[in-house]
Amino acid sequence: MKKIILVIIIAVSILLLTACGGYDIQATQENVDYDAEVLEEENVVRAFHEWLNGDMFSLRYTIIFDNMFQNTTESTGSLAVSGNNIAMSFSSGDEVGPFSNDMRTIIRDGVVYLIDDMDMTITQLPYTEDDFSSSSIFMMADYNEIRHVRSGVGEVHGRTLPFEEYTYIQNDRTGMMRYFIYNNEVYAFAYTFDFDDYVFFTVIFTYMSDNVEEYIFELPTSYTEIEFAFEDIWNDSGNVDGFEFVIDDGIGIIVGFTGEQYGDLIIPDRINGFIVMEIGERAFYGMSGFTGELVIPETVIYIGDYAFAGCYGFTGELILPRQLITLGEGAFAGCSGFTGELVIPDFTTLLRESTFSGCSGITYLDLNNVSIIQANAFAGWEGLTSLIIPSSVVSIGAGAFRDNINLSRVEFMGTLGVFNNTAFENSPDNMVVINGPAGLMR
């Protein structure tokens, strides 16, 4: 079974560079504890896993990735096993790094080949079976816990069938297995696996057969051989349309801009085929030449220190990505041209020092789930007239709302654990404070 996992790992590691959609799992019945021994005693399921560990079979598969950005791309393909030979085809629906979207992997005598039929190239990968000694996701004895969730009826590839659904824990990762039954055999098998903090994937097996044609394991003789360079795929740097970028383990990071500064700044959601997830420290620092709107893609979860500080030419509302987690110190300091409202995203709970200081044109602030507001985070907001501090906020630092000279009303919805008396320094003398902490200075 290690052989199958090897192929899937290769395909998954390449396809992880594409943005992907989810597989909706909903459990409706109370969980009932099962262990691996009990599960293996169920004849249909046991027979299926024994078949997967056999020496000859073929199947079709679909891989659906789910990351926090809710983009939708499926990879489909086929897998065939005959003794020590394995062939796998896959189509991602999108170009991935330097490769086209239609690929094959063949393993012959322990050597792994990546074949690009569109570009007519063949690449020997620096992997062998022995490189992968981890236990199989399909070997149920390796699970820490298996739990039967429910029986139900669902649709797979246009056919409505009964299924049995289980959850499992393996190496501190959680997942789901669903077996679709037809004629007392497993017609389709789907599993969802928690890949890392942001991504999990679902694999669906269908059209399973014991028939394998040996010709599919033949290597093309007329294709151009190219050298595989692992670092060139996952780690890179360069400049595309003025956006300086770094690829770090498959994550796109915008680190600077060398293009002309005028009008709108629209940051791409992909760079060189990779998802842009981070805006680096001082990436656009002091670029006041932009005089239109700032568009940050929904894929971004991290904005570094002073990334947009001093960009006072931006106009319109500042719309932050919904999945944003980290906002660096001074990230938007001095961006006085923004107007309208600012909504802090759900996952952003810490506002660091001077994050939005000097954003004097913004007139409404929704703190959402923020828990900590550090010093000077919203200092100098001349356009803000009223403010609600939600119950999620437990700490407000020195000068957090200093020089909000038109702030006429503040309401505290909860109790603060830490409050610096200078948080609202230089606010109007007649500012109405509701449920505020004792000693609040104006």
Query: What digits encode the pLDDT tens for the residues 184-231?
Result: 777 777 777 654 444 556 777 787 788 888 788 888 889 998 876 555
Name the more confident of 239 and 90.
239
In a domain, 286, yes or no: no
Q: Which of 223, 185, 227, 220 is nearest to 206 (CA)?
A: 185
d(CA 434, CA 409): 8
What pLDDT score was predicted for residue 173? 61
Lowest mean pLDDT segment, chosen from 19-33, 121-135, 302-316 = 19-33
In a domain, 40, yes or no: yes
Q: Determine if the pTM surpasses 0.95.
A: no
CATH code at position 46? 2.50.20.10
C-alpha torsion 417→422→427→430, nearest 10:
70
Q: Which of 2, 96, 10, 12 is nearest to 52 (CA)?
A: 2
d(CA 33, CA 31): 7
In a domain, 29, yes or no: yes
| Span 20-43, average pLDDT | 36
What is the domain count for the chain? 1
| Span 304-320, average pLDDT | 97
In a domain, 432, yes or no: no
In a domain, 427, yes or no: no
Give residue 248's pLDDT band: very low, low, confident or very high (50, 70, 90).
confident
Q: The domain containing residue 110 runs over which residues?
A: 2-230
In a domain, 363, yes or no: no
In a domain, 210, yes or no: yes
d(CA 40, CA 24): 26
In a domain, 224, yes or no: yes
Continuous segment of H or E residues that includes residue 33: strand 32-34
**How big is the CA angle at 334 (ends 329 and 336), to the nearest 5 degrees?**
135
Q: What is the pLDDT of residues 132-181, one digit of tens each?
A: 333 343 444 444 566 777 888 888 767 788 888 877 766 666 677 788 88
Continuous segment of H or E residues that includes residue 386: strand 386-389
Asked if 47 and 179 touch (Cβ cutoff 8 Å), the reply is no
Q: What is the pLDDT of residues 3-21, one digit of tens each?
A: 333 344 344 433 332 222 2
Lowest mean pLDDT segment, chosen from 113-127, 244-258, 308-322, 407-421 = 113-127
Output the average pLDDT for the chain. 78
